[in-house]
Structure 1
Amino acid sequence: MDALVERIRSSTVNGRLPCPAAFRIAAELGITPLEVGEKATQLGIKISRCQLGLFGYDDLGSKGVVTPMKDVPERLKAEITAHLVDGRLPCEAAWEIAKKLKLGKVQVSGAAEALGIKISSCQLGCFS
């Protein structure tokens, strides 16, 4: 069994691979997160605990945990708007915005939700 398969299988929780674990595996093996996501899919293992809060929270009784932000600060709105691709915010851009503005990733997706903007292009390949 190759190292990637072994790492994915040993990192599952309740038969699913948490998003943070997938990113950790990618960093440790020096591969892209997409490679980890694709291999998990080939193995029939679903990704859980999306770090943007979009999916994989079935154990909490809901698909995702994102709630629209009540008041989106202008700076955050400007960053989101500047990173749109075809009217959507790519996952990787949401992560970059969170890091730049020192916000939680779920805060960025909550702001996008409040602005009526969908997140696209999951770095693990879960959605386009």
Structure 2
Amino acid sequence: MTRKQAGEYKTKHPPDQQTSAAIVEAIKEKIKNNELSCAHAEAIARDTATTLAEVGINLDLLEMRIGKCQLGLFGYNPTSKAVEPADIVSPELTAAIHSALSEERLPCAAAWTIAASLGIPRMAVAGACETMKIKIKPCQLGAF
């Protein structure tokens, strides 16, 4: 959700949705200026043996923002977006992206998997998607 929707993040979830004490405690240890970076969210998921989706739900319920997307798609002030289109996209990366598309979009989780399997930065996959005019969605944290 966007900055304009601040204060409404929790409305994405059922009214009886509960937070996890372990996740909330981990968030409080890492949060700065009411914002948690994607990398910190990933670490919290790993450290609490949960999913990024669960961390995202807890952030929503706490009305806290997600920043510095590891794909460079949002959370980088002042422009918000850090990813740039790639100058060249290798045939191997093109094929990997095309094979992972879902409804003509590349899921965030698939972008991470592709980056790991090809040994390239996650933002390089996002840059290739920018060049190829492919949207990355959905976000593992539920931001979009």
The TM-score by the shorter chain falls in which range? Answer: over 0.9
Instruction: Name the residue aligned to 1:20.
Output: 39
Match of 1:122 in 2: 139
Report the more deviating stretch, 5-14 or 38-47. Answer: 5-14
| Cα separation, 2, equivalents of 1:79 and 1:54 | 20
Query: Deviation string for 1:64-89 (max 9, x for gaps)?
Result: 10100011111100100110001000
Secondary structure at the residue paired with 2:141? coil
5+ unaligned residues in a row in structure 2: which ranges?
1-19
Q: Which moves more between the two structures, 11-20 or 96-105?
A: 11-20
Query: In the alignment, which residue of structure 2 is the partner of 1:70?
Result: 87
CA–CA distance in 2 between the matches of 1:45 and 1:103? 30
Aligned residue in 2 for 1:40: 59
Identity %: 42
Task: Give the partner amino acid of 2:51.
Answer: T
Q: How many Å separate the matches in 2 of 1:75 and 1:4?
A: 37
Query: What amino acid is aligned across from residue 39 of structure 1 in structure 2?
Result: N
Q: List gaps (5 residues or longer) in structure 1.
A: none
* Deviant stretches of 4+, over 6 Å: none
Work out which of the residue numbers 78, 98, 109 in structure 2 matches 1:92: 109
* Structure-2 separation of matches of 1:85 and 1:3: 33
Displacement of 1:8: 0.7
Counterparts of 1:15 and 1:74, CA distance in 2: 41
Q: TM-score, normalised to structure 2's length?
A: 0.84
Question: Partner residue of 1:55?
Answer: 74
Whole-angstrom distance in 2 between the partners of 1:83 and 1:104 = 17
Matched, 1:5 2:24: yes
Residue 21 of structure 1, CA deviation: 0.6
1: CA distance, partners of 2:109 / 2:94: 16
CA RMSD of aligned residues (A): 1.1
Give 3-state SS (helix, strand or coil) of 2:109's partner.
Answer: helix
